[in-house]
Structure 1
Amino acid sequence: MSQTPAYPMQGHASAQERFMAALASGRLHHGWIVEGPSGIGKSLFVRRLAAHILGAASPDAGLGDPVMQKVAAGSHPDLKWVTLELNEKGQLRKDISVDQVRGLNHFFSLRPGLSGWRVGVIDAIDQSNRSGMNALLKTLEEPPDRSILFLINHGSIQILPTLKSRCQTLRLSRLDDDQTSAILAAHEALDPMLVKASMGRPGYGLDILEKGGLDAIRSAQALLQSLRQPKSQTAAVALAAAGQSEAALSIFTDMVLGWVALQAETDPRYGKVWLDLHEVRAVSKELALTPIQAATKLYSVLQLGLKSNEEVS
């Protein structure tokens, strides 16, 4: 009787097949960057592969598998997962510290406890500062035997070329609507609008739901649909919804950036608009703008970018 996978996966089959072929060849590279937009399942993807390397029967093994059970419980001695930690105030730190990375380097210097392999994961490398990235180079330049390092990359910043050149890269893509819907349904998130709002990123959709952001979604979607024929009332409603809270602003901003990113896939001119919007987001935080001020500024820059692209056309 087959078990339900401990980490059921939607999509990413070709990336998994490529990795499994490398593993079967006996010439598995020691460093792998797993990159793609946030919310598409990169951490889950890596956890499946890590469990299999450490001895689980397959990436689809269930919790009846003793290795998968330890991985799921976070108790496997040969797996070290590095992510953002809490500071002394109980808040998430802004980045993964160099001390955390040094701790991972030390982990690789130890002998495996159970599996014969050591697996380290940085989740995510673009949450590490430059010093942390540099600290990884020694491990990547002189990798211990039977060790593998996964670097999860959301693509929010450029990682050091010296890191990238020492790793193989697995590029994971956004999911289609059916795959997204299946993941959301598994979490009892059944609103059809959430599927579209997720834009192939079910993790993002679940985050929206947790923040109570469906109203912000509806308003932002109406705004984006009317961008080429702007309606002042639609814009006013959307900006008012985005201005309700920091969470609503975050959802509004992510939706605008996601929409622009999708346009950039077929029209490179939108790349500059995307960069301009990211700069507005950063400046808004630095100046401590209110949510309504930040949302209004974003909308203004978006309109200017669209107008500029149309004039070039």
Structure 2
Amino acid sequence: MSDVALPLFGHGEAQAEFLSAKESGRLHHAWIFEGPSGIGKARFATRLASVMLGAKPTDEDPAGAPVNDPVIQKILSSGHPDLKHVHREANEKGTLKQDISVDQVRDLNAFFSLKPALGGWRVGILDALDEMNISSLNAVLKTLEEPPPQAVLFLISHATAPVLPTIRSRCQTLRLKPLSTAETKAVLDTMELETPADMADLVRGRPGRAAELAGPKVMAAASAAQSLLKSMPSANEAQLSHAILSAGEDDQAFGIFAEEVLGWISDKADTEPGWSEVWFEGQQIIATQRSLHIPPAQAASKLVSCLQSAFASR
């Protein structure tokens, strides 16, 4: 495992399904890799891209190229001519833009219109569908509707927003799950963390979130969300107030708080479909907070009220 450039933690079944499709000679032209953030979907996509582009995996890992493989070296240095990775870009102030723009997707479409530079495949990774606006989503349909030969597109979805039916119907979907406790700890052990054991409990199978949660305000907001959810529907005023104050510290704290709450509601909806409406209501609160720059404390209060109303009506 140590000789592999991008070791894989978890997702073995999903990887096997993709590789089986590839070996069958009937590989679909577009794949959605769907699952919560922080579980390694981008790494998963990059590993499969390396296989498509000719990397030679090790005997132990059918999609794990060794560190000295020339294909994976080109990929990791962003120098492979037949791989295009699309994600949000920074604005003139150096901060990430809110969406992947339609121009970025048009560049991806133009990339796919060309023949592979090295004579094999062309691979695109679009990270992520959740960060695209309606114009860029419509633009990606061009490639999905008219797939070029010897090309495959990987679309990453964090499942924070519904995938358009017109997109999902043209793709194969692999649903990736949070990692096991052992897998999570294995990932965290490769990172420079002061308290990896405490972080393993907090990230709940999503080790990629460790960097986000490292700050005290963010960690406090995530912890407050988890405590609140455990206390519902019997949370007292002190617990409710603490949750709102912790989430209201700043936009990042609110983002983590909201992610915890929406993730819990999503899990609830798997067994109780009525909670799907609550999930959509929560998503609307989050979207409004972002678009109108509502103070985090105000948005947190609305989200907590949404949660209380959901319990009260059941």
Give the TM-score, by structure 1 length.
Answer: 0.90
Contact 1:29–1:167 (CA<8 Å) still a contact in 2? yes
SS in 1 for 2:100: coil
Write out aligned runs for 1:1-313 (5 A): 4-58=3-57, 59-114=63-118, 116-189=120-193, 190-210=195-215, 213-286=218-291, 288-309=293-314
Mapped to 2, the partners of 1:140 and 1:231 lie a distance apart of 50
Contact 1:3–1:64 (CA<8 Å) still a contact in 2? no
Deviates more, 1:38-47 or 1:283-292: 283-292
Unaligned runs of 5+ in 2: 58-62
Matched residue type, 1:60 = G
Over the aligned positions, Cα root-mean-square deviation in angstroms equals: 2.1
Contact 1:78–1:115 (CA<8 Å) still a contact in 2? no
Q: Structure 1 residue 212: deviation in Å?
A: 5.0
Matched residue type, 1:12 = H
C-alpha distance 112-211 of structure 1, shift in aligned 2 (>3 A): farther
The superposition leaves residues 176-226 of structure 1 with CA deviations (integer Å, 9 ceiling, x where unpaired) of 222222222221333434323323222223311257522223333322221
Contact 1:33–1:151 (CA<8 Å) still a contact in 2? yes
SS in 2 for 1:213: helix
SS in 1 for 2:210: helix
Q: Structure 1 residue 237: deviation in Å?
A: 2.5
The superposition leaves residues 145-186 of structure 1 with CA deviations (integer Å, 9 ceiling, x where unpaired) of 211111112223333323222221111122222222222222
- Which residue is equivalent to 2:60? none
Mapped to 1, the partners of 2:141 and 2:105 lie a distance apart of 10
SS in 2 for 1:186: coil
Matched residue type, 2:34 = E
Unaligned runs of 5+ in 1: none
Matched residue type, 1:74 = S
Mapped to 1, the partners of 2:274 and 2:174 lie a distance apart of 26
Give the paired residue count: 308
SS in 2 for 1:174: coil
